[in-house]
Amino acid sequence: METSSGTLACYAQMVPPEVLAQIFILFSESQENRWVGRRAAPLILMQICHYWRQAALSTPRVWRRLSAYVRNAGAFESKAAFMRLWLSRSGSGPLDISLAETCCYAWASTSPTMAVISDYLHRCRSLELRVPESRIQWFTPPQAPILSRLTVIYGPRTHRDYGKDLGLAFSPHIRILDLDLDYLRRLHSGSVQWAGLHTLSVSGVLSAYEILAVLHECSSLRHCDLAFYGSDNEEEAEYQETVKMDHLERLSLHYNDDSVVDMVVEKLDTPGLTSLAIYADECCEGFLATWRSVLPEAGSMLKDLFIKCDGGILPDSDIFSDFLRQLEHLEDLTIICSRLGDPFNGDVEGFLQALTLSTDDTPSSTLLPRLRKLELTGVSQIITMRKPSLDTCVQEFCSSRPLSSGLQSVSVKWCVPGDAHVTCWSREDSRQIEVGYEDPVVLMAECGDS
């Protein structure tokens, strides 16, 4: 009688090699982009049996995504040798490579791992680099003829005064750029094909004027992610022109000071915007007030609104409801307080009541008539005697919006003063509301990662 391991190996070898190759490809491409190690998808597959090992080695596509991380200065040579072996199995197709170096090498301008990337740069479709700046300048556009996605995040700066242009950004097929402001300032005066970009992510101490000047040239931009860590110029010049972005579909804004964000938003004209994400360190009262003023031109077609903040959204739920009333096409609404704060200043019940449909409601008076998904997470910081209770408000809201009305998913995770747990209400494609409980500490960790 065969052992269980022998039986498993027997069944594993019954799969035709061409079918096995497709399974390997789907498995590898479904995995998170983890750093190369023992848990990398191809290495897991090779450990099943000799038959699978040979199948993995004969399937180049499972070796075309590489993420290497060098943490130890003594590991450069061994990591480079491993990278070269990995990529030697990738055939001739396009590559997706990520490299992070958090330690120093003997030479500032290069490293063994960067030398490997240089040899394969002509096949790179996407490249993410977290290395000292002087090493990045080593690459030039002719080396990367098919590069379409470039992410550059500063590693340890061995030479802060190294001010050459980021040559890779001038590659002819670049469509996605993810940079910090120091690089953006150099590129703006260069020959980047801004009009060809469809995704731009920028982070740093951003100037509203500089950002608007760049966005003005990105006429085909579809997705934009801006992370504002304050402004380095309190009295910067005002950008005079309206920046028209007809193709922009998704905008994400991260900030701790809404003054710079306000100056950017006031100048944007985004008639096709369907998704807006706001990440605020404090509250987003000032930003939403500015956004509300430009909604008829810039936000009326929004379908997805995501807000994550530490403080209240607006002074009270009625003002926020008035803001949402202009978003008649909104389908998905997510509001999360990252530190389990109170986004509604003690009036989450009033907000849910505003969303609850009544028999007297007309299409014009209904708040968010096309709502498909609602997610609320927070803590009531103020003890109120409001009647009815939060549980009743959630139940009435869900009852007033059955599946036939379009509402498919509801998730409310809320903690009221005095409770040792978070109450969770949920409804997924069902008329029944499920009620559960979570540990506040666990929920705070989840909110911090979202």
Question: What is the pTM for the complete model shown?
Answer: 0.79
CA atoms within 13 A on the CB side of 139: 31
DSSP for 396-431 reads: HHHHHS-GGGT--EEEEEEE-TT-SSEEEEEEESSS
> What pLDDT, on the 0 to 100 scale, is given for residue 410?
93
pLDDT tens digits, one per residue of 218-244: 889 999 998 877 665 555 667 888 898
**Strands 199-204, 65-70: pairing kind:** unpaired
| Ranges 123-137, 224-238, 276-290, 323-337: which has the least confidence | 224-238
| pLDDT band at residue 94 under the 50/70/90 scheme | very high
The answer to whether 105 and 76 are in contact (CB under 8 A) is yes
Angle (deg, nearest 10), helices 348-355 and 317-325: 30
- Look at residue 177 and tell me whether its pLDDT is greater than 80: yes
Tell me which range, 176-180, 331-335, 375-379, is most confidently predicted by mean pLDDT. Answer: 331-335
Cβ 73 vs Cβ 113: under 8 Å: no
**Which percentage of the chain shows pLDDT scores above 70?**
71
Residue boundaries of the structural domains of the chain: 1-63, 65-175
CA-wise closest residue to 239 among 258, 272, 271, 217: 217
Question: Are the beta carbons of 45 and 62 closer than 8 angstroms?
Answer: yes
Q: What is the pLDDT of residues 115-136, one digit of tens each?
A: 898 889 899 999 888 877 666 6
Measuring CA to CA, how many Å separate 179 from each of 108, 248, 305? 21, 19, 25
The band of 7, judged by pLDDT with boundaries at 50, 70 and 90, is low
CB 293 within 8 A of CB 240: no
